[in-house]
Chain A
Amino acid sequence: METIGVPRALAYYTYFPFWKTVLEGLGRELVVSGTTNKAILDQGVSEATNDLCVPIKIFFGHVVQLKGQVDKIFVPRLVNVNQGDTFCPKFLGLPDMVEYGMNGLPPLFAPRIDLCKKIRGWFDLAKMVAEALNCNMISVLKGFQQGKKAQAEYDSLLLGGYAPKEAMELMYTGQKGKASGAAKKPVGTIALLGYPYSLYDDFLNGNLLSKLKGLGVKVLTPEMAPPSDLYSQIRLLPKGLFWYFSNRVLGAGMYYLSEVNIDGIVHVSNFACGPDAMVNKLLELEAKKYTCPFLTISLDEHTGQAGIHTRLEAFVDMVRWRRQRACE
């Protein structure tokens, strides 16, 4: 059976269930790289151009993990998912950066995902997949049907507060974890905003999510905001951002600020991330409008867990204190 390696990085956190269903339905065996660790990060850092942001370096590291183990490596080119925006140019050029930036790789499976023209886009995608994997269109299109179902299930779990790992465990092993988000008597509600590949990669962010929960706060992420609300917030701006994940982060921030009673925003940003320079400033200005406490955590390959935790603790203390003062 042909094996396809899936790097556990970048879009994995968002679209894995769809592709798992499709590719397994087409008789492929998937090999997912392990969770990010020091070795993966180091490999990524040494393989990738050093000016790249850390999530891309981590992606490179995961590709290295899969090298030699699989027949093909899945490196999707995400262009448009029909929300009126596109992706960060590093997503647009990802397969080329991997192909020309790394040596000794097996062939890439790099479908170009452009669903700008909805039906046409799906059709073209199916054609590409069929060609790349040498199977017939009908089975690919059928696979897409199944895949969309799996994806919808996954998305609704995320919406309900499951982190990707928990959601996938529930879907694939039937293990019932508890939706995270909720602490019993939260000391406050914090919107934790960032790209899925930053928020849900525990190694990259030093276990930020569980740390926050451990501090007794209720955590809301962009994945827990209804997509339609999120986009109606973006439409309030004179001009939306160009990048899918960035719009989700900004829209979620605006949604939580205006519609939900939050006590603070933590923006998890990536060092030297182009889009984040803008997202961060816009979020800061939005938060200022609502006089909502705002903390930026910028991740890079040297960010220590200890440093992050100290800053989170201080922030949560401040939030709690503000809350008490408001009650008195």
Chain B
Amino acid sequence: MRITFPYMGHSHWVFRQLLSELGHEPIVPPSPTKRTLDYGTRYSPEFACIPFKVLLGSYLEAIELGAEAVVTTGGVGPCRAGYYAPLHQRILADLGYEIDIIVLEPPLRNMKEFYRQLRKLIPPGIGIGNLLCILHRAWVKLNAIDHLERLSHQIRPRELERGRTTRVFRKCLELIGAARTVSEINVAREEGVRLLTEIPIDREKELLKIGIIGEIYVVLEPFINHNVQILLEGMGVLADRSIYLADWVRGNALVPGEKDIKRAARPYLKELVGGHGLNSIGETVLYARRGFDGVVQLAPFACIPEIVAKSIIPSVSRKLGIPVLTLFLDEQTGEAGIKTRLEAFVDLLLQKKRKGAGAQWNQVTWA
């Protein structure tokens, strides 16, 4: 089958391999562009969250490329993500596309349904041992990508030649992408590490430390967040991201982990509110404890859990003395606007740092 999947960050390298090893023809949606967004926005409800719109747009683009089915994950609420698939399907049907959306719901919920959907993906010829190998390879690949990306974020803010890390990291992705077997992937990973660590850097440079939190899609997809992390790194900031791809897989398919984050959030929010709402609060607390200078919260416009978090975060911020900047993102958000706000935020953090902890500082930030 010609199958496409949600486009998010660098995950397509993994899905591509997974699907082709299962004997399908992966249709990799083009990395999102203005056109994707226009498509998605045109056919989505106005207040659908931005991930919904981008995904709809990229499904449409993948259909143009010949996709016959979409594979995606489901969910049981309380947020909207779990309802993306049924609504995407209905909107596509209304537009006249009878595309099959294969939804992998959390297996613990309904084992039979999970299995039924899975069967559509896994051809009968593939034995369980083989399947496990395929999954294992995908997992190794995913972790290799995460590892190299983390490393690139350590290096970029210190690079001596502007843009070098980004170029090298792109090369790393290609290496990993081309690797098939576990040992090939490991070799590619080593090679990637070598390439990245060879980049000349300024070891002495003093960096501000900013944590990036928020809703997973907008955190992971640079097209939507306008490369926030790289922008920050260009401003001399060590930007730590709370979420990587592997976290997403864990969160979607397996057990809910992240106990420490939840514990940290408890005093402020006593209920799971879906999405990454609780995480956003917990991570703010943890970044404060780890001595970070500030936090940037990324949220889709009208994102319910992040709005709940945003209404609580000022208290956390005041109490723990960590400034938080919230950026709501939608199809109208432009890079220039984001950049200006980040620069202002970084300036404030620098001032605060120079003055030592300043009390008046805390009142400015949560605009």
* Cross-chain contact B304 with A90 (CB below 8 angstroms): yes
User: Which has the most chain B C-beta neighbours within 10 Å: A49, A85, A101?
Assistant: A49
* Residue in A48, A100, A101, A241 with the greatest tally of chain B CB atoms within 10 Å: A100
Q: Is A89 in contact with B273, judged by CB distance below 8 angstroms? A: yes
Please measure, in the bound complex, the distance between the C-alpha atom of A26 and the C-alpha atom of B79, giving whole angstroms.
36
Bound complex: CA of A274 vs CA of B275, how far in Å? 12
Determine whether B308 belongs to the interface, using a CB cutoff of 8 Å to chain A.
Answer: yes
> Quick check: is A212 within 8 A (CB to CB) of the other chain?
no
By a CB distance below 8 angstroms, the chain A residues around B272 are: 92
Partner of A282 from B79, B90, B277 at Cβ < 8 Å: B90
Chain A residues with Cβ below 8 Å from B48 are 277-278, 281
Contact, CB under 8 Å: B86 / A92: no
Q: Which 6 A-B pairs have the closest CB atoms?
A: A242-B77, A277-B47, A100-B315, A89-B273, A274-B304, A93-B308
Query: B47, B77, B274, B311: which contacts A273 (Cβ < 8 A)?
Result: B47
- Using Cβ atoms and an 8 Å threshold, which residues of chain A touch B91? 281
- In the assembled complex, the Cα of A242 lies from the Cα of B78 at a distance in Å of 6
Q: Is the CB of A93 within 8 A of B90?
A: no
In this assembly, does A174 line the interface, its C-beta being within 8 Å of a C-beta of chain B?
A: no
Interface size of A in residues (CB-CB distance below 8 Å): 39
A89–B308 CA distance with the chains assembled, in angstroms? 8
Knowing that A85-B77, A89-B308, A100-B311 touch, tell me 13 more A-B residue pairs with CB under 8 angstroms: A51-B307, A51-B328, A93-B277, A93-B308, A95-B270, A100-B314, A241-B83, A242-B78, A242-B83, A273-B47, A277-B45, A277-B47, A285-B94
Contact at A281–B87, with CB atoms within 8 Å? yes
Contact in complex: B310, A77 (CB < 8 Å): no
Check A52 for interface membership: any CB of B closer than 8 A: yes
Nearest residue (CB) in A for B270 is A96
Residue numbers of A with Cβ under 8 A of B are 48-49, 51-52, 77, 79, 85-90, 92-93, 95-97, 100-101, 112, 237-239, 241-243, 271-278, 280-282, 285, 288
Closest chain A residue, CB of each to CB of B326: A51
C-alpha gap A278/B91 in the complex (Å): 11
Nearest CB in chain A: distance from B324 CB, A: 12
Docked Cα-Cα span, A88 to B303, in Å, equals 12
Asked if A278 and B310 sit within 8 Å, CB to CB, the answer is no
Residue contact B83 to A97, C-beta cutoff 8 Å: no
